């Protein structure tokens, strides 16, 4: 496969996943902002959301105050924000259009129709009157895109690069959400092992829902929610679809499927990262420091993305 084609497929998938992840995070903040809390606590929640995406500085340059509606507008349709949902879905469509001949008709039509529907929905007042409904639509379109890809495309290199982009992006997002929540709210390993107040339960429950993990948590642990178990579920469980280990399993498998003459070192790098998760224990991670562990993981995921670009995709501009 031509590296330019692989590049378009890889980034089509990353932008689609990024749009879904942004919608998930925004929906959680909309839900938690309705809970009883002070203005300072509400603002802290929105600021944490911007911090997850490393967009605090860009937001502060454009807005004087930190209001929920302004953060939503910035994260959904601001043309100056390259990570907004509008920007992500537009870039996903443009990348799909560039490799139209590589995709099945169904996959292309999903990408194109999503972009068209997005224009119509944003021209209405849906985002202002019922933002959660808009975010659910974004998530649904992402699910539809993945399902049609798996259900209609030949299992060749095109699908492997699409899934590689999807799971690299998902791993990055899960780590960011978990790091922001823990770094801000967790005081010690002992606290991580304990239950939580009713107020914290709603916040942590919302975070689990943002990663489609609330029902899974109840099924796996059948007990009170604790931060340590949440961390274990989202980091070390290979049967949790959005966990770091599950994402790295997919990354390693798809890297192996597209391996070439120069990718052995990148495969070893990804394999080492997966092995650290596969054989890790949550007690050891908490004792070492969850924030440090996640920070290192994010740096490794960034490096892995650069290595994939170097070995398979169009070289980055100097």
Query: What confidence tens digit (pLDDT) does each residue in 77-107 have?
Result: 998 899 999 999 999 999 999 999 999 999 9
The helix/strand/coil state of 161 is helix
Place of tokens 């953060």: 71
Per-residue pLDDT band at 298 (split at 50, 70, 90)? very high
Q: How far apart are CA 257 and CA 1, in angstroms?
A: 13
Residue 200 tokens read as 């914290």
- C-alpha closest to that of 255 among 163, 173, 147, 175: 163
Q: What pLDDT is attached to residue 300?
A: 97
- Residue 9 phi, psi dihedral angles, 5° rounding: -65, -45
Q: What is the distance of C-alpha 91 from the center of its chain?
A: 16
DSSP character for 242? T
Contacts of 192 (CB under 8 A, 6+ apart): 182, 186, 226, 227, 228, 231, 286, 290
Please, what is the average pLDDT of the chain? 89
pTM: 0.90
Average pLDDT for 144-158 = 95
193: burial class by Cβ within 10 Å (0-12, 13-18, 19+)?
middle
Contact between 24 and 211 (Cβ < 8 Å): yes
**pLDDT tens string 237-288:** 999 999 999 999 999 999 999 999 999 999 999 999 999 999 999 999 999 8
Q: Does residue 171 or residue 1 have the better pLDDT?
A: 171
Residue 188 reports pLDDT greater than 60? no
| C-beta separation of 311 from 266 below 8 A | yes
């Amino acid at each position: 496969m031509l590296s330019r084609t692989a590049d378009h497929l890889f980034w089509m998938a990353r932008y689609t996943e990024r749009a879904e992840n942004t919608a998930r995070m925004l929906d959680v903040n909309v839900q938690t902002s309705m809970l009883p809390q002070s203005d300072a606590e509400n603002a802290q929640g929105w600021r944490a959301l911007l911090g997850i995406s490393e967009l605090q500085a860009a937001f502060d340059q454009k807005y004087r105050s930190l209001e929920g509606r302004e953060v939503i507008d910035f994260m959904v349709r601001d043309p100056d924000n390259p990570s907004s949902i509008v920007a992500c879905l537009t870039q996903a469509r443009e990348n799909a259009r560039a490799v139209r001949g590589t995709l099945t008709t169904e996959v292309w039509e999903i990408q194109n129709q999503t972009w068209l529907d997005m224009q119509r929905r944003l021209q209405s007042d849906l985002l202002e009157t019922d933002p959660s409904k808009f975010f659910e639509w974004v998530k649904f379109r992402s699910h539809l895109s993945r399902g049609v890809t798996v259900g209609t495309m030949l299992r060749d290199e095109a699908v492997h690069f699409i899934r590689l982009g999807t799971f690299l992006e998902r791993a990055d997002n899960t780590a960011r959400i978990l790091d922001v929540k823990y770094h801000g709210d967790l005081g010690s390993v002992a606290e991580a092992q304990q239950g939580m107040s009713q107020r914290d339960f709603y916040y942590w429950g919302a975070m689990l829902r943002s990663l489609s993990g609330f029902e899974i948590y109840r099924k796996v642990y059948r007990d009170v929610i604790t931060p340590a178990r949440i961390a274990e579920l989202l980091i070390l469980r290979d049967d949790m679809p959005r966990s770091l280990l599950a994402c790295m399993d997919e990354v390693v498998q798809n890297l192996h499927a597209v391996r070439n003459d120069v990718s052995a070192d990148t495969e070893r790098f990804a394999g080492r990262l997966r092995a650290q998760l596969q054989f890790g224990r949550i007690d050891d991670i908490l004792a070492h420091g969850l924030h440090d562990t996640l920070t290192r993981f994010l740096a490794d995921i960034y490096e892995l993305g650069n290595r994939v670009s170097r070995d398979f995709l169009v070289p980055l501009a100097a």
